[in-house]
Chains A and B, each alone.
Chain A
Amino acid sequence: MPWVARLRYGRFPVVALVSLLVLLVAGVAIAVLNEQALKVQTAREAGAQADLLASAVSGALAFDDAAAAQDYVDAVQVNPSVLAAAVYDENGRLVASFVRDGETIFHGAASSERATLFDDGRLLVARPVEEAGQSLGVVHLKLLETPRAQRFGRYAGLLLVLGLAALVVVVLAVAQGALRRANHQLADRAAELVRANSLLQQQMIEREKAEEALRQSQKMEAIGRLTGGIAHDFNNLLMVASSGIELLDRTSDPKRRESLSAGIRQAVERGAALTRQLLAFSRRSPLKAEVLDARAHIEGLRFLLERSLREDIEVVLDLPSDLWPVEADRGELELALLNLAVNARDAMPQGGRLIISASNAAGEGEAGDMVCLRIADTGGGMPEAVALRVFEPFFTTKEVGRGTGLGLSQVYGFVKSSGGEISVESREGQGTTFTLCLPRTDKTPPPPGEAPAAPAGGAARAGEVNARLLLVEDDDAVAIGVGHMLDDLGYSHVRVASAAEALEALDQDPGFDLIFSDMVMPGEMDGLGLAQEVRRRMPSTPVLLTTGFSEAASAATGEAFRLLPKPYGIESLSEALAATLSDPKP
């Protein structure tokens, strides 16, 4: 049956099916039993009536009194369900009868057997007439069985209840099926969502990577654009140093020699500070929003700005001390300021002033509090058509080779991603002002104590220590310079040029008090590898690493090795050695 198949296909619950079946069987059984009981009762009643008639007509039959027999038969007519009645004598002759309209007297009357039979809604009853054992004849009665309509009416209530129960079962089952289907769909959708989500996450990771690459290239571009200024500055420093050294050789006046060497040291320190800042700036670092004090930050950047711009450009900072803190990525902010500074420099080929000012802007209505930075130049300005497009990526007014056009789009991207606003104001011949507004944050900036502590003068005096060092350094010039410093500090040392040589030396003489190694060296093993090997072989021997590469530096601190960044002076070397000897782990 197709509907059964459909029910099974629709996972019609077996329980529901079974209960439906049980209900049906119970209903049918009750109906059949009732019907049977009713039939038996009807037959009994009809039999009793026939018996009564048979006993009543016995005399009339025995003594041929048809009129009396007819009287008894007529009396039976009072019962409306009696359709016909007949009395036959012992020879099968009809003695008395009555028949209602449309009915017939049945035949086969000669038999005097007791009989009860149902026939098409009629009940036929035959009863022999006997008196004291003498057979006198037979009585036939034809009764109307309970009419079909009446019988159906009797079962209508039962049918109704059965139907209702079936309906409830079916509805429940259908509802359950629908629920199950819905659950299935939901699970499918959830799985689909999970797939879409993982795809999205993958895309987000890829995008993040791409953005990081973009930021890095933006930084590199900025540095490239700074190169000219920095090279110029380095030339000046080298000039100071070389002229100072020459003059040192020519004079023997101790006073003059002291002032010359002070000038040389200052130039070298400035150069070191400049490269340190460049390295820090170019470091590849993940985007991380932190709470910044804009004033302190820009002040810190002043040195790099002054060095990287031309000398004919004056940098003016106008930063109030009560600026609200902002939340932004440190590197991105620096890059944005540098980009704007370089643009300003390019806009002022004849020299001029770069004014960086800041102010608090209290929010009005919906807008929150902002900290606004204004970077203004006194250059040529730009036409409105250009001003409208300055933030578009790859839009540039510079000739090929001088800029990619990514600078201002980095500034725009940084401000937008920090939840801020940027605007540009420019009039030809009257300079350009960029205004960056960053939202104020409720958080407080960390205390400015991260800068390396000021050198504690005289922590180590020459000749006070007596330790043996293994110096690993591939650059001969550096090795000689460091060697002099070590001698001066009172350390004896053995110098090797590579990690392999260092391990060899350690095999022959494991009595070194400290290993002082450069990190980036030619050969299969670098300084970090050497340090790890030493830690494995001789855990008690301390290791101090040094490098000029910022990435290598972070790797060293990640492995919990002490690190001395290049370039370093004798005092910082002394401190680092002393600290490593007393406590090998940072």
Chain B
Amino acid sequence: MGLGRGALRVLIALLWSGLLPAAASAGQPAPLQANLEYSVKANYLVRFAAFVEWPPRAFATAQSPVVICVAGHDPFRGSLETAARAQTAYGRPLAVRRPNSREAAAGCHILYVGQGGAGLVPEGRPSILLVTDAAAPPADRGMIHFAISDNRVRFHIDLQQASRAGLSISSRLLNLALSVRGG
């Protein structure tokens, strides 16, 4: 039953993504599927901002945006900007950046580590939610690690690492994880 519903879900997702202007080239199934996967991931990155709490010191002011960064290769092709547009978290706007240095990456709150982006991850324990992806296998998994399960985008959570960084992750998010480490 779960499988049937999952198949339905993918079908609906296909129809939905068909509406996106970014996926205009019909008749190319593989890029389309990749596009769908990354648009879902982009969406999730935006949603994480609502389910994770940062310590107050992570923001300069009450109105400072939650900065979502992509380090290394950017697989989202603008879908991240689309998902983040007009969204907020805890009353803060969302901003998307692509830092090209460790210093620049230090200002991020959510850091997606793409292909070759491991070098940009800041040293020490700044309050940054590190998101890695099984599609770009990292040396070390981040606090959230995307994986494909049952043909759907899921994730693993490393709660220990997150709490070391001073982040707290909502139990509702934990409930949905494929696995939770530590905590």
Contacts and interface: CB of A to CB of B under 8 A. Distances in A.
B57 interface: no
Interface in A51-75: 56, 58-60, 62-68, 70
B50 A62 contact: yes
Interface residues of A, number: 19
A113 interface: no
A207 B71 CA distance: 143
A131 B89 CA distance: 8
Interface of A: 56, 58-60, 62-68, 70, 91, 93, 131-134, 136
B44 interface: yes
Given A59-B170, A68-B175, A132 B5 contact: no
B172 A132 contact: no
Which secondary structure dominates where chain B touches chain A?
helix
A64 B50 contact: no
Contacts of A62: 44, 47, 50-51, 173
A62 B175 CA distance: 12
A58 B91 CA distance: 17
Nearest to B90: A132
Nearest to A71: B175
Contacts of B2: 67
Interface string B143-183: 00000000011010000000000000010110110000000
Given A62-B50, A133-B90, A133-B91, A93 B12 contact: yes
Nearest to A70: B5
A58 B173 CA distance: 9
A60 B176 contact: yes
A66 B13 CA distance: 13
Contacts of B40: 64
Contacts of B155: 63
A439 to B, nearest CB: 124
A93 to B, nearest CB: 6
9 contacts: A59-B173, A63-B173, A64-B9, A66-B6, A131-B170, A133-B50, A133-B90, A134-B46, A134-B87
Interface string B39-55: 01000101101110000
Contacts of A134: 46-47, 49-50, 87-89
Nearest to B52: A132
B94 to A, nearest CB: 9
Chain B CB count within 10 A is highest, among A58, A59, A63, for A63
Nearest to A64: B9
The 4 closest A-B CB pairs, nearest first, are A59-B172, A132-B50, A131-B50, A62-B47
B176 A63 contact: yes
Nearest to B40: A64
Interface of B: 2, 5-6, 9, 12-13, 16, 40, 44, 46-47, 49-51, 87-91, 152-153, 155, 170, 172-173, 175-176
B13 to A, nearest CB: 8
A132 B176 contact: no
A66 B5 contact: yes
A392 B70 CA distance: 153
Given A59-B175, A62-B50, A63-B44, A133 B12 contact: no
Contacts of B46: 134
A132 B51 CA distance: 7
Contacts of B172: 56, 58-60, 131
A63 B146 CA distance: 12
Contact of B88 (A56, A68, A133): A133
B89 A133 contact: yes
A91 B9 CA distance: 13
Contact of A68 (B13, B89, B152, B176): B176
Contacts of A93: 12
B63 to A, nearest CB: 13
Given A62-B47, A62-B51, A131-B170, 13 more contacts: A59-B51, A60-B175, A60-B176, A62-B173, A64-B40, A65-B176, A66-B6, A66-B9, A68-B175, A132-B50, A132-B89, A133-B89, A134-B89
A311 B13 CA distance: 165
B16 A91 contact: yes
B43 to A, nearest CB: 9
Contacts of A56: 172
Nearest to A56: B172
A99 to B, nearest CB: 16
Contacts of A59: 51, 170, 172-173, 175-176
Contacts of A65: 176
Contacts of A70: 5
A60 to B, nearest CB: 7
A51 to B, nearest CB: 14
A95 to B, nearest CB: 9
A67 B6 CA distance: 9
A62 B88 CA distance: 14
A59 to B, nearest CB: 3
A132 B49 CA distance: 8
A516 to B, nearest CB: 146
Contacts of B47: 62-63, 131, 134, 136
A524 B90 CA distance: 139
Chain B CB count within 10 A is highest, among A62, A66, A70, A133, for A62
Nearest to A65: B176
Contacts of B13: 64
A59 B50 CA distance: 10
Contacts of A66: 5-6, 9
B25 to A, nearest CB: 23
